Structure 1
Amino acid sequence: MDNSAMDQALDWLIQLEHCDAQQRQRFEQWLDADQAHVEAFAQAQAMWNSVPLQQVAAGLEQQARPARSRPLRRLWKPMASAAVLLLAVFNFTNLPLRLEADHLTQVGERQRLQLQDGSSVLLNTDSAFSSQLDEQHRSVRLYQGEAFFNVPDNRNRPLEVEAGPLHMSASSTDFAVRYLDGEARIQVQRGAVDVRNTQGNTRISLSAGNSLRVGPSGIGQPEPMSHNDLAWVQGRLIFDNRPLGQVLTELRRYYPGWIINANSALDDVAVTGNYRLDNPLDVMRSLAQITSASLHELPRVVILN
């Protein structure tokens, strides 16, 4: 199941605890938009109402306020904390991925790799990667996440890169590949790469300063890169007049817990900032300040309101 659909479903579970008619209507529209949303919400509800989750939530509430007791359905904050703990177990037990990948990064982690052919790779947060480099093969695969490649010149044997629907050949170039939710995106910083869709025969040469998306429906049109696109390579997260909803979506990739926006009116507020990636909680505090929102910090849960 799409992780982003589950994140949104859990977010809606929190919002529906105290929602008005307008929020309820937006929830219904979200539910009708995709069958994956229906399945994710059903799964989230089942987990939310499960006995283990309620037991963990009750324990968290008792630790926080030992002298008071409340009905379980009112314990939404400890319920959110407990849900994150259970989700962490589910998210980190992807055994097939662990068996296939040579290298994995945890949420918030970056890892530098030096390949045998002289190429270097920087893996971004929550990524899985493998390589096969020998006399017959010079290929790598990104199973999920994001990676930045520096590939030396070897035009007789270019590096072959696969990521979902994407297959590309590269030599003497610097580029990034991002593969999330079934779509791959290539961003070329130096040189050029040859790109094709694994589901078809369409090919394109992508030059420096351009980006390209490849999805299940085929190859998109090249677009100019933004100067902020590869800020993560330098350990930064840069947004220029971007809606807060988009900023939070990106920030969730780096926070090892649950970021909840309980006030949907904040989604469209434009924000600008240059942040360090190694402390997403500080980023959340800054975003709360510049949007005049309140921030509630719980164990592995941050709630913006």
Structure 2
Amino acid sequence: MTDQGAGSLDPLTEEALAWLVRLHSGKETEQDWHLYHDWKAASAEQSAAAERAEAMWSRLGPALAGKKSRKISGALVFMVALLGTAAYSGVLGRSNQWLADEATGIGERRTVHLADGSAVVLDSVTSFDVEFSNDERRIKLRDGQIYVTVAPNPARPFVVEAQGGDVQALGTAFNVRIDEADVSVAVTEHAVRVGMMNGQSVDVSVGYGVDYSRADGLGQVAAVDTASITAWQRGELVFDNRPLGDVLEDMERYEHGAVIFTDAELKRLPVTGVFSTDDLGAFFDALEHALPVRVTRLPLVTVISRAE
């Protein structure tokens, strides 16, 4: 469920680790071990994923000795998470942030005031470069999400470059977010012009937004809820019938660690609500009350399983 570009686990390795968590929970049965070996044998991809997960586990001791293995401990889970997801959790930092002109860490939000008087608010785990010249004001968004308030200067256009597209301010304030290969733009004041390297271009007015990617080009301009989209600036995230897997991808940007699902079907459960990015404990408590899930929180890893 995590971002491959961030150095996280691929979905099958995540599933294999979820199996290992289950098999060392203290409640495992002989049948569970048989089912795990059946899962491994189902395809070459699953077998390879199991080998990766088991290699991580074996670095911590004889954890795969079947019925003889010890029960998993909080410290062991901590080390598994540290070995498997350090890059994603921010312990080492995202590699594409190391040389950025401006960057934020996990859980950090801040405002950068540029030399021209414009202001850029950075969300958690966000980075960009500044390239100002006499003719143009350009910032290159590497990852994450920003909200830009542009100082007027018709002689020097203001452009946000992101994932092969340019968002040019037309006297405006707007939000730009990168999600893996996709970019989302939402306008809160005036308008922007969104252009692609292939020549596609569209103007987007206040209250509207557009998505684009290198693979699919420009999407359709549509009305958006700008208050919800920009709620992150207030330390809130707003979800309306969003799948739990997507919700957790958003929420885990604000806390060190990774999330593992023991049942992939749980990722499809719908979530609606307004949640604080400063109190993920309350968020997980709310999940357990609203959905048929059990949340097990350990150092650097959270396990989501089906409620019994």
TM range (shorter): 0.7 to 0.9
Aligned residue number for residue 139 of structure 1: 138
Greater relative contact order structure (CA < 8 Å, 6+ sep): 2
Aligned residue number for residue 303 of structure 1: 303
- How many residues align? The count is 280
CA distance 1:259–1:281, change in 2 (3 Å): farther
Which residue, out of 190, 212, 215, partners 1:214? Answer: 212
Aligned residue number for residue 16 of structure 1: 19
* Distance apart, 1:204 and its partner CA: 0.8
Aligned residue number for residue 252 of structure 1: 252
Give me the whole-angstrom Cα distance separating, in 1, the residues matched to 2:195 and 2:113. 26
SS in 1 for 2:124: coil
Contact (CA 8 Å) 1:152, 1:171: kept in 2 or not? no
What pairs up with 1:1-305 in 2 under 5 angstroms? 1-3=4-6, 6=9, 8-17=11-20, 42=48, 45=50, 47-50=52-55, 54-55=58-59, 57-58=60-61, 71=69, 75=72, 80-91=77-88, 92=92, 94-95=94-95, 97-99=97-99, 101-198=100-197, 200-217=198-215, 218-226=217-225, 227-305=227-305
* Distance apart, 1:185 and its partner CA: 1.2
Give me the whole-angstrom Cα distance separating, in 2, the residues matched to 1:296 and 1:149. 38
* Distance apart, 1:158 and its partner CA: 1.7
Q: C-alpha offsets along residues 169-227 of structure 1, whole Å, 9 cap, x if unaligned?
A: 114211111112121111111110111112x0111111111111111131111121124
CA distance 1:292–1:137, change in 2 (3 Å): same
Give me the whole-angstrom Cα distance separating, in 2, the residues matched to 1:77 and 1:45. 22
Contact (CA 8 Å) 2:81, 2:301: kept in 1 or not? yes
* Structure 2 residue ranges without an equivalent (≥5): 23-31
* Distance apart, 1:78 and its partner CA: 5.4
SS in 1 for 2:228: coil
* Distance apart, 1:80 and its partner CA: 4.3
Contact (CA 8 Å) 2:6, 2:87: kept in 1 or not? no
Give me the whole-angstrom Cα distance separating, in 1, the residues matched to 2:245 and 2:7. 13
SS in 2 for 1:2: helix
Q: C-alpha offsets along residues 219-258 of structure 1, whole Å, 9 cap, x if unaligned?
A: 1111211242221122101112333232222212222101
Give me the whole-angstrom Cα distance separating, in 1, the residues matched to 2:259 and 2:181. 23
Q: C-alpha offsets along residues 99-145 of structure 1, whole Å, 9 cap, x if unaligned?
A: 2x111111222121111111111111111111123434411010111
* Structure 1 residue ranges without an equivalent (≥5): 33-37, 62-68
Task: Report percent identity of matched pairs.
Answer: 25
TM-score, length-scaled by structure 1: 0.79
Give me the whole-angstrom Cα distance separating, in 2, the residues matched to 1:7 and 1:148. 30
Give me the whole-angstrom Cα distance separating, in 1, the residues matched to 2:9 and 2:191. 37
* Distance apart, 1:10 and its partner CA: 4.0
Give me the whole-angstrom Cα distance separating, in 2, the residues matched to 1:121 and 1:196. 21
TM-score, length-scaled by structure 2: 0.78
CA distance 1:134–1:234, change in 2 (3 Å): same
Give me the whole-angstrom Cα distance separating, in 2, the residues matched to 1:272 and 1:41. 36
SS in 2 for 1:253: helix
SS in 1 for 2:282: helix
* Distance apart, 1:70 and its partner CA: 6.0
Give me the whole-angstrom Cα distance separating, in 2, the residues matched to 1:98 and 1:150. 25
Give me the whole-angstrom Cα distance separating, in 2, the residues matched to 1:244 and 1:4. 21
SS in 2 for 1:249: helix
